[in-house]
Structure 1
C-alpha cells in the first residue's frame, strides 16, 4: 500500500470515527447554540487586554457586530422570505472563543483546552467544541430578516475544526411551513480545510420585530 493510500485510509478512519461519535448528537440544540453565541459576545476587552472591534449593526435584529465577522443574505424583508433564500455567516474561531465557550458552557474537556493532552488523541491537536462550531448556524439564522426564534435543529458532525480556522455557516430556506415557520437546510464549512463539517436542518419561527 502506498503512503498516499495509507494516509487516505487513516483520514477516512478518523472521519468515520468522528462521525460515529457525534452522529445524532444534539437533536435539539437550542440551548447549546445559545451558549455558543454567548461565547461570541465579547466583554469590553479580550483576554489579551485589546479592545474589541465592536461596530454598529447593519440590520435591526442584531445588537452589534464585529469587524472580523462577515455575513451575506439574499432577502431583507420578512414578508418576502421564500424557498431558496440564504444567509451566510463567517468568522474565525480563536483560542479566546474556545476558552470563553468552555467557561460559559462548562464543557472543559481537555481535548479543547490542553495542547499536550490533545496531541496524544486521534486528532493530534486541540479542536474546537462541536457545539461552538454549530453555534455559527444560530448566528446565521439570527441574520434572517425579522426576529428569528429557534424551534428545532438536527445536526450531523462529519469532521473536526482546528483552533484558528475560519468557519462559515450557511442556512437555506427549503420549505415554508405556514404560520411564519420555515424549514432550513443548515451547513457549516471549515474554509481553511475546504471541508463540510456539519450538515443539518432547522425549523424557525419568524416574528415581527418590536416597534422601536
Structure 2
C-alpha cells in the first residue's frame, strides 16, 4: 500500500508540475510572464496594477495630487512575447520586429521592438501619477532602437503646471545602461479619480 501511495504522490506531483509549466507558457505568450507573476491590484488606487518583473519608483511631493518636480520611473523587460502580442493586437506585423532572418540583414542586425510598444512604458508611468491621467499630446524622438529581451525604463518628470489641471512633462525611455532611446515631452490632463 505504501508503494501505491508513493507512486500516486509522485505521479500527481508530476502532473501538477506539467500543468503549471503549460500555464506559464500560455501566460508568457500573452505577455504575462510566469504564473507566479499574475496581475495584482495595488493598494494605492492611483497606481493601478502590478506584475512580477515590473519596477516602479515614485518621487512625489504629495500622494494625492500632481506637483511640479514629481518624478516616476517605470521599468520592465520588453520580451519577444510582448512584441508578438503587440503585433497581433495592432496588426503591425513589420518583419523588422518579428522575423529574425529578415531583421538580421537590416541596419539593426536583429529584430527590434515596435517604437509604439516602447512608448507604452511612458503611458504606464503616467498611469501611476496621482489622479486619473489623460494624454493630451506627446512629442517624441527615437534616439536608438529597443533590443528585444532588455529592460527599459520610462522616466517622467512634471516640469510645468499649465492650468486647468494640465501639466507638461518630460517623457524619456532609457535602456539598461542608462542610455536614452526615446526623448520626449507630453501634456496631460489629471482629473480626480472617479468615486
Could you say whether these structures have the same fold, taking a TM-score greater than 0.5 normalized by the shorter chain as the test?
yes
When residues 69 and 116 of structure 1 are mapped into structure 2, their CA distance, relative to the original with a 3 A threshold, is same
C-alpha contact (below 8 Å) 2:69/2:159 kept by paired residues: yes
Do residues 188 (structure 1) and 173 (structure 2) align? yes
Aligned equivalent of 1:206: 190
Q: Which moved more, 1:196-205 or 1:58-67?
A: 58-67
Runs of 4+ in 1 over 3 A off after TM superposition: none
Residue 65 of structure 1, CA deviation: 1.1
Aligned equivalent of 2:27: 45
C-alpha contact (below 8 Å) 1:78/1:206 kept by paired residues: no
C-alpha contact (below 8 Å) 2:46/2:130 kept by paired residues: yes
Residue 106 of structure 1, CA deviation: 1.0
Larger RCO, structure (CA 8 Å, separation 6 or more): 1
Aligned equivalent of 1:96: 81
Calculate the aligned-residue CA RMSD, in Å: 1.8
- 1:59-84 CA-to-partner distances (Å, cap 9, x unmatched) read 203442101101111224343x2221
Aligned equivalent of 1:131: 116
Q: Hey, what's the Cα distance between the residues in 2 that align with 1:73 and 1:194? A: 18
| Superposition map of 1:58-69 within 5 A | 58-69=43-54
| Superposition map of 1:41-190 within 5 A | 45-47=27-29, 51=35, 52-75=37-60, 76-79=62-65, 81-190=66-175
Q: Hey, what's the Cα distance between the residues in 2 that align with 1:114 and 1:175? A: 42
Q: Which moved more, 1:48-57 or 1:61-70?
A: 48-57
Secondary structure in 2 matching 1:156: strand
Secondary structure in 1 matching 2:171: strand
Unaligned residue ranges in structure 1 (runs of 5+): 1-43
C-alpha contact (below 8 Å) 2:47/2:129 kept by paired residues: no
Secondary structure in 2 matching 1:172: strand
Secondary structure in 2 matching 1:145: coil
Q: Normalising by the residue count of structure 2, what TM-score does the alignment of the two structures yield? A: 0.80
- Answer with 1 or 2: which has the greater Rg: 2
Residue 194 of structure 1, CA deviation: 3.3
Q: Hey, what's the Cα distance between the residues in 1 that align with 2:189 and 2:162? A: 10
Unaligned residue ranges in structure 2 (runs of 5+): 1-25
